[in-house]
């Protein structure tokens, strides 16, 4: 049964499935309750909260009961450092099966020649990719330059020479305020400390990627790694152009598709908009739009596969075998035809949400969307992103504040709110519901005022929400949520 059929009312599961899942969760929570009842209570409350709120965080979704239940097994108890068939612990034959199945589904789903299912998160996947590229492009030639010595025979001076080379390579990725991710070279992140880093941005007028400007910057900087992908850019990317730029300057193209992997898996992004055929190495999370467990994957062309396969112990500790099992289940779900229909609805719903904002006078970064993200500039409401995020949460609308290009409020207070459509699409929301969501969001923001800090200015954090607004929006949301229940038939 597909994930749609077990999370939303659009294809309600049979009674037997719902009853079985309910019994499984009730039993699990009863067992937990005997040891630490506060954890059982918090778990029940989390389900209730998710059922009762408009979840619009672009990086969140709802995994199926099959995926969630897979994580709660004794596979969690097994150490399995190493790779399939080459573990540092005995008794890993079942983990080998789990990891093999997860990698097989990933290869088939994305059309990749190689897949690595061990990363614990997207950041871990990026670290594995970075070090695999360094090992392939720098370390191996570096060792060759040091002569025919065995690795164990290298002197401290030899290693110092190699460390200097590894630590002085260049990386170029999208800036945080333009929509990039922390791991694409943001200075406070380890990626900004590992590399000599430079960011590329977007056109200051349109907010869109300027490939000619990016190419010019790459020619000047000559990075070893060119990073594509985003976490808050509401448009599609031409990865064939990025590969041309990378090839021209001798860079390895690495694409982080964590946010839009579901749209790649669902064949919404194909051809030049599918990064996998164009990138040397592609990373992703397995949750977000892919709707699986929290974890990561690395996909790679053959020349990088050996280095990626050394992710543990190079970067990672012991793989989380129970999460790899859940990845396998989620990837199997994503290979079903129904997932392609879901992915298309995600993109269609984002357009409906964007149009709903625009017709109510809101300002969107890039003027719209053609993926799953809508980025709202809240300065037109006289608010910071932090104020807008908090006021919306008061009204039961769960979002996250986000930087916008050349953000005057910086990365903490921000000037934007990022919306994503994957989660509510899973629940069954369509165009009409997302238009109504836009109406409710605008209602909240129009009725929020920043608190004065005296005669000279206003707070960037404190605000006042007009009386009755939160109650009005909660009531309207409740109608849509009731019509599109989360995990219908699941009772605790």
Q: Which has the closest alpha carbon to 229: 209, 252, 258, 192?
A: 258
What the block records as the tokens of 144 is: 């060759």
Q: In angstroms, rounded to a whole number, what is the distance separating the alpha carbons of residues 396 and 423? A: 15
Q: Which has the closest alpha carbon to 354: 374, 370, 332?
A: 374
Q: In angstroms, rounded to a whole number, what is the distance separating the alpha carbons of residues 187 and 164? A: 19
Is residue 452 within 8 A of residue 409, CB to CB? The reply is no
Catalytic residue among 19, 52, 60, 81: 81
Catalytic residue among 99, 124, 139, 256: 256
Could you confirm whether 285 is annotated as catalytic? Answer: yes
> How, if at all, do strands 458-465 and 225-229 pair?
unpaired
Which phi and psi (to 5°) does residue 384 adopt?
Answer: -90, 165
449 CA to centre of own chain: 32
Catalytic residue among 285, 369, 421, 448: 285
Could you confirm whether 99 is annotated as catalytic? Answer: no
Which neighbouring-strand residues pair with 197? 171
Q: Which has the closest alpha carbon to 346: 397, 401, 292, 290?
A: 290
Beta strands in 275-433 (DSSP E): 281-285, 296-300, 363-364, 373-377, 397-398, 400-402, 416-420
Could you confirm whether 81 is annotated as catalytic? Answer: yes
Could you confirm whether 230 is annotated as catalytic? Answer: no
Catalytic residue among 87, 294, 345, 401: 294
Which neighbouring-strand residues pair with 363? 377
What the block records as the tokens of 139 is: 């370390």
Q: Cα separations (Å) of 202 from 176, 279, 327, 376? A: 11, 21, 34, 16
Residues labelled as active-site residues: 79, 81, 256, 285, 288, 294
């Amino acid at each position: 049964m597909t994930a749609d059929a077990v999370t939303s009312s659009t294809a309600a599961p049979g009674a037997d499935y719902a009853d079985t899942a309910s019994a499984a969760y009730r039993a699990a929570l009863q067992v937990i309750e005997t040891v630490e009842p506060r954890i059982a209570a918090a778990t029940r409350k989390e389900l209730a909260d998710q059922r009762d709120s408009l979840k619009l965080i672009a990086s969140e979704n709802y995994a199926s009961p099959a995926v969630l239940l897979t994580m709660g097994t004794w596979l969690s108890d097994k150490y399995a450092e190493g790779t399939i068939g080459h573990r540092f612990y005995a008794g890993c034959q079942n983990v080998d099966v789990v990891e093999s199945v997860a990698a097989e589904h990933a290869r088939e789903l994305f059309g990749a020649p190689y897949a690595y299912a061990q990363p614990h998160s997207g950041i871990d996947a990026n670290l594995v990719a970075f070090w695999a590229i360094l090992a392939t492009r720098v370390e191996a030639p570096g060792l060759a330059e040091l002569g025919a010595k065995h690795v164990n025979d290298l002197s401290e001076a030899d290693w110092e020479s190699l460390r200097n080379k590894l630590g002085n390579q260049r990386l170029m990725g999208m800036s945080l305020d333009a929509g990039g991710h922390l791991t694409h070279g943001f200075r406070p992140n380890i990626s900004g400390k590992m590399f000599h880093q430079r960011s590329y941005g977007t056109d200051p007028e349109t907010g869109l990627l300027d490939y000619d400007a990016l190419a010019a910057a790459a020619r000047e900087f000559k990075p070893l790694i060119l990073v594509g992908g985003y976490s808050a850019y509401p448009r599609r990317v031409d990865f064939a152009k990025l590969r041309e730029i990378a090839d021209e300057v001798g860079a390895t193209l690495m694409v982080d598709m964590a946010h839009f992997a579901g749209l790649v898996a669902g064949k919404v992004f194909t051809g030049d908009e599918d990064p996998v055929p164009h990138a040397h190495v592609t990373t992703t999370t397995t949750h977000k739009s892919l709707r699986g467990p929290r974890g990561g994957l690395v996909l790679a062309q053959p020349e990088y596969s050996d280095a990626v396969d050394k992710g543990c112990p190079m970067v990672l500790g012991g793989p989380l075998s129970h999460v790899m099992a859940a990845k396998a289940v989620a990837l199997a779900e994503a290979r079903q035809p129904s997932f392609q229909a879901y992915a298309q609805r995600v993109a269609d719903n984002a357009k409906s949400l964007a149009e709903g904002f625009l017709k109510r006078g809101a300002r969107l970064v890039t003027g719209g969307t053609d993926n799953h993200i809508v980025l709202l500039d809240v300065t037109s409401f006289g608010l910071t992103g932090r104020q807008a995020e908090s006021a919306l949460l008061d009204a039961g609308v769960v979002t996250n504040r986000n930087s916008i290009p050349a953000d005057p409020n910086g990365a903490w207070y921000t000037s934007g709110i990022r919306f994503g459509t994957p989660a509510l699409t899973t629940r069954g929301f369509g165009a009409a519901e997302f238009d109504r969501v836009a109406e409710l969001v605008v209602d909240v923001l129009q009725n929020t005022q920043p608190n004065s800090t005296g005669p000279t200015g206003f707070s960037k954090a404190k605000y006042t929400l007009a009386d009755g607004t939160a109650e009005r929006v909660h009531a309207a949301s409740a109608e849509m949520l009731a019509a599109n229940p989360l995990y219908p038939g699941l009772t605790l």
